Amino acid sequence: MKRRLRKRSKPEQNDGSNVLIIDATALSYGVFYGIGTTLSYNGKPTAVIYGFLKKVLQLCRMFKTNEIVFCWDAGYSWREVNYPQYKQARRQKKEEALPEEKEIFDQLLFQQIQLHSSVLKSMGLKNTFCFPKYEGDDLIGKIVKEYFNGRHKIVVSSDSDMYQLLDKSDIFLLNKKKLFTHEDFKKKYGIYADNWPIAKAIGGCSTDGVIGVQGVADPKSPTSKALKYIRGEITSGKIYNRIKAEENKCIQVNLPLVTIPYMEDAMPEIKIRKNRVTRRKLIKIFDKYRFISFLEDEMFDKWEKIFCHENKKRI
């Protein structure tokens, strides 16, 4: 479908203050479970690519910004190398999946690779990162702590590990569709964000296979014994004694696993570049994948207003 040339639309308000740092793997999984694999072109699945781009547009319009960074998982990670129990249950589940389930997940992986290596960059969205043996969380942590100083950083994720970054950024929770701030965190959990890794080191993380102190459990609830211990609400008894006895072990073994970024000193340099999105690039990509709805006037105007006007503030 060839899009007719028409008068350029006026840009949407974008003062350059907001920067979106997206947990791209989490976003793509959310899209995958939301719309599945129903869309394809030339025999290749495209539903996740379509849904991912649609969600990116929604987020950029919501926060009135075109400053955006994508961070991807890279498969087998340093945490798994150094701590074999890490995410062992997830690996086992994939290994035991039925052939048809593996085929579906292969389709998801194919589209994730297409998004990172081709689609986003071809659109002119330059800042998409995936480093061998690093999780997207680690890249997000590095960027939040060291880049875009003086800007309002918004991490887009559904992962509670990101809570430790709330002293330097806000988090848009994908699963709850709302912004979560440091003030929200303190009100809910009664601790500061920089104590979140300690809570997870003591309580462990069941989804990642990080084993905490017996009887404490991971700090998903404000009534977690790990949080109560940090808040000074547990000062005696069996749980207190157990935590005190294992605290040093938790700090030495678990804390590095639940802190982001992991093995930061070995991480490759992250080079932030200015996005170069143009009408021509958008039309070419949307036409290539036959995303007809994106090429229709009303929808294309939304893309153009957000992305195709130079932002005076530079990264």
Pair (121, 84) in one structural domain: yes
Q: Is residue 92 part of a domain?
A: yes
Indicate whether 180 and 267 sit together in one domain.
Answer: yes
Domain boundary (258, 277, 299) is at 258
Maximum CA pair distance of the chain?
Answer: 74
With respect to residue 172, please indicate whether it lies within any of the assigned structural domains.
Answer: yes
pLDDT digits (tens, 9 = 90+) for 21-79: 999 999 999 999 887 667 888 888 999 999 999 999 999 999 999 999 999 999 899 99
Same domain, 72 and 208: no
In the block, which residue shows the tokens 């002119």?
A: 124
Condensed to tens digits (0 to 9), the pLDDT of residues 292-305 reads: 999 999 999 999 99
Of 258, 278, 297, the residue that ends a domain is: 258
State which H helix or E strand residue 210 sits in: strand 210-211
User: What's the CATH code of the domain at 278?
Assistant: 3.40.50.1010
* Same domain assignment for residues 80 and 101: yes
Residue range of the domain that includes 281 = 18-186+263-307
User: Do both 206 and 93 map to the same domain?
Assistant: no
Is pLDDT at 90 greater than 90 in this prediction?
no
Say if residue 87 is in the same domain as residue 206.
no
Instruction: Indicate the average pLDDT of the chain.
Output: 91
pLDDT score, position 97? 87
Whether 127 shows a pLDDT value over 50: the answer reads yes
* pLDDT tens, residue by residue, 180-189: 999 999 999 9
Q: Give the domain CATH number at 221.
A: 1.10.150
Assess if residue 9 is contained within a domain: no
DSSP-assigned states of every residue in 243-260: HHHHHHHIIIIIHHHHSS
- Give domain status of residue 81, yes or no: yes
Give the pLDDT score at 314: 36
Write the pLDDT tens digit of every residue in 219-240.
Answer: 989 999 999 999 999 999 999 9
303 lies in some domain: yes
| Distance, C-alpha 84 to centroid of its chain | 23
Identify the domain boundary among 258, 278, 299: 258
* Number of domains making up the chain: 2
CA-CA distances (angstroms) from residue 82 to 92, 198, 298?
18, 19, 51
Per-residue model confidence as pLDDT tens digits over 161-215: 999 999 999 999 999 999 999 999 999 999 999 999 999 999 999 889 999 999 9
Note the pLDDT of residue 37: 67
15 vs 252, residue with greater confidence: 252
- The Cα–Cα gap between 142 and 71 comes to 11
Average pLDDT over residues 85-111: 89
What whole-number distance in Å separates Cα of residue 217 and Cα of residue 204? 6
In a domain, 7, yes or no: no
Tracing tokens 């006007």 back to the chain, one arrives at: 309
Task: State whether 273 and 245 are in the same domain.
Answer: no
Q: What is the mean pLDDT of residues 120-135?
A: 97
Q: What is the mean pLDDT of residues 85-109?
A: 89
- Asked whether residue 158 is domain-assigned, the answer is yes
Same-domain status, 196 and 85: no
Hey, what long-range contacts does 38-46 have (CB within 8 A, 24 or more apart)? 41/289, 41/290, 44/110, 45/107, 45/110, 45/111, 46/111, 46/289, 46/290, 46/291
- pLDDT value, residue 164: 98
149 in the same domain as 204: no
| Cβ neighbours of residue 277 closer than 8 Å, sequence gap 6 or more | 66, 123, 124, 125, 307, 308
* Radius of gyration, alpha carbons of the chain: 21
Task: Looking at the structure, tell me whether residues 66 and 32 fall in a common domain.
Answer: yes
Say if 161 falls within a structural domain.
yes
Q: What is the pLDDT of residues 7-19, one digit of tens each?
A: 555 555 566 689 9
Question: Could you tell me if 165 and 72 lie in one domain?
Answer: yes
Q: Are residues 135 and 276 in the same domain?
A: yes
Q: Which residue has tokens 């939040």?
A: 144
